[in-house]
Amino acid sequence: MGKATVRLRYLARRARKLRPGNLIEFARQAQKVSRAPLPVLIADMLWCSLKYDMGFRDYAVWDIRLLSAKERATWMTHPKSFRITRMHNTPEGRARLEDKRRFAREYADLLGRETIDLRDVDDAELGSFLARHPKVLAKPFEGQGGGGITLYENVTDAAAFRAEITAAGQSIVDEFIVQHPQMSALYPDSVNTVRMITFLDTRGGEPGRVHLLAAVLRIGNGDVIDNFASGGMFTMLDEQGIALYPGVDKKSNVYAEHPVTGTPIVGFAVPMYDEIVALTEKLARRTPEAPYVGWDLAITPEGPVVIEGNHNSSVFQPKPSASGVRTGLLPVYQAAVGF
How far does Cα 246 stand from its chain's mean position?
Answer: 18
Please tell me the distance from the alpha carbon of residue 96 to that of residue 48, in angstroms, as a whole number.
Answer: 34
Amino acid sitting at position 274: D
Q: Which of 3-12, 21-30, 253-262, 305-314 has the lowest mean pLDDT?
A: 3-12
Judge whether residue 333 has pLDDT over 80: yes
pLDDT at 223: 62
Cβ distance 128 to 156 under 8 Å?
no
Would you place residue 250 in the very low, low, confident or very high pLDDT band (cuts 50, 70, 90)?
A: confident
Asked if residue 56 lies in contact with residue 21, where contact means CB atoms within 8 angstroms, the answer is no
pLDDT tens for residues 182-191?
999 999 988 8
Residue 109 sits at φ, ψ, to 5 deg, of: -75, -15
pTM of the predicted model as reported, rounded to 2 decimal places? 0.88
328: closest CA among 9, 38, 103, 61? 61
End-to-end CA distance of the chain: 14
Instruction: Write the pLDDT tens digit of every residue in 95-106.
Output: 999 988 899 999
CA 241 to CA 237: how far, in whole Å?
Answer: 5
Angle between helices 20-30 and 38-51 (to 10 degrees): 110
Q: Average pLDDT for residues 169-198, to the nearest whole number?
A: 94
Q: Are 306 and 279 in contact (CB under 8 A)?
A: yes
The C-alpha R_g of the chain, in whole angstroms, comes to 20
What pairs with residue 12 in β-bridges? none
pLDDT in tens, 126-156: 999 999 999 999 988 765 555 678 999 999 9
Higher pLDDT, 86 or 7: 86
Residue 1 has a CB neighbour count (10 Å cut-off) of 9
